[in-house]
């Protein structure tokens, strides 16, 4: 009986070693941390949703909390484009706000997303790549605070020919 249980545990442990873990997948093609992350591995279509954040507006009192939901297309060269809907507490809902910018990913799977909205607002966010299918981000601007999650929709970007 003990021999059967020990044999079963060894088979289970060996099987677990063969299944790629999410942390390994975030680093290239499952080859481990030595291969690192890259912008090219993120090329594709993504969706994002912010948590409740805070937005400061130039020369006007802040309306209150902010939340947004949108799309993000990432090219293999790190170009980013998309649109988002945004709600300002006690102020307005604004649909289909375009934005474009760049994403930089370090080998340790951290990086930055810099973008300019259609209204001319420039932002830079810190991001962390959790896997080829998920990222987290946060604003670097102390006057405009938010965090968000980004999930892959497909491997083809809206401008995948680049």
Domain of 47, in residue numbers: 33-154
Strands 122-131 and 65-74: unpaired
Confidence (pLDDT) at 71: 98
Q: Express each pLDDT in 54-94 by its tens digit.
A: 877 667 666 688 999 999 999 999 999 999 999 988 888 99
pLDDT the model gives residue 16: 42
26-44 confidence digits (pLDDT tens): 444 444 344 689 999 999 9
Q: Is residue 12 part of a domain?
A: no
Is residue 94, in this structure, part of any structural domain at all? yes
Q: What Cα–Cα distance (Å) separates residue 28 from each residue in 1, 38, 69, 129? A: 43, 7, 28, 11
Q: What is the pLDDT of residue 1?
A: 47
Domain count, the chain: 1
- Annotate 74-95 with DSSP letters as a single string: E-TTSEEEEEEEEEETTTEEEE
Strand partners, 94: 86
Which CATH number is 49's domain given? 2.40.160.90
Cβ atoms of 78 and 39 within 8 Å: the answer is yes
What residues form DSSP beta bridges with 105?
Answer: 111
- For 112-152, write each residue's pLDDT tens digit: 999 999 989 999 999 999 999 999 999 999 888 889 999 99
């Amino acid at each position: 009986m003990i021999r059967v249980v020990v044999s079963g545990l060894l088979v289970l442990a060996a099987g677990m070693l063969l299944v790629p873990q999410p942390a390994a997948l975030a680093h290239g093609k499952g080859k481990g941390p030595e291969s690192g992350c890259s912008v090219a591995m993120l090329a594709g279509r993504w969706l994002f949703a912010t948590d409740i954040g805070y937005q400061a507006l130039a020369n006007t009192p802040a309306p209150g909390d902010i939340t947004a939901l949108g799309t993000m297309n990432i090219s293999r060269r790190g170009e980013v484009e998309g649109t988002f809907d945004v709600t300002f507490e006690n102020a307005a809902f604004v649909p289909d706000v375009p934005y474009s910018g760049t994403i930089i990913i370090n080998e340790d799977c951290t990086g930055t997303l810099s973008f300019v909205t259609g209204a001319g607002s420039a932002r830079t966010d810190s991001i962390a790549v959790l896997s080829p299918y998920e990222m987290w981000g946060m604003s670097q601007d102390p006057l405009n605070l938010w965090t968000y999650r980004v999930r892959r929709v497909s491997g083809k970007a809206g401008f995948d020919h680049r």
